[in-house]
Amino acid sequence: MSRSTHRPHRGIAPGVDRLGDHLVNFYLVDDPDGLVLIDSGLPAHLGQLRDHLAACGHTLSDVRAVLLTHGHPDHTGLAHSLKQSGADIWVHQRDADILRDGPRSALRHAKPERSMLPYLLRHPASAATPLHLARKGAFTARAVPDVRVLTDHQLLEDVPGTPRALALPGHTPGSTGYLFPERGLLFTGDALVTHDGLTGETGPRLVCRGFTHDGDAAMAALDRIDELPTTTLLLPGHGDPVTGDARTATGKARQAGLR
Domain ranges of the chain: 3-256
pLDDT on residue 232 = 81
Per-residue pLDDT, averaged over 155-184, amounts to 96
pLDDT on residue 10 = 64
Going by C-alpha positions, the residue among 58, 65, 123 that lies closest to residue 90 is 65
Confidence of residue 9 (pLDDT cuts 50, 70, 90): low
Q: Residue 189 region, left (φ>0) first, then alpha (ψ -120 to 50), else beta?
A: left
For the chain, the first-to-last Cα distance in angstroms comes to: 19
pLDDT in tens, 209-229: 999 999 999 999 999 999 988
CATH topology of domain 3-256: Metallo-beta-lactamase; Chain A (3.60.15)
The counts of H helices and E strands in the chain are 8, 13
Q: Rounded to two decimals, what is the model's pTM?
A: 0.94
Query: Does residue 4 register a pLDDT over 50?
Result: no
Q: Residue 239 region, left (φ>0) first, then alpha (ψ -120 to 50), else beta?
A: left
SS3 of the chain: helix, strand, coil, percent, to 5: 30, 25, 45
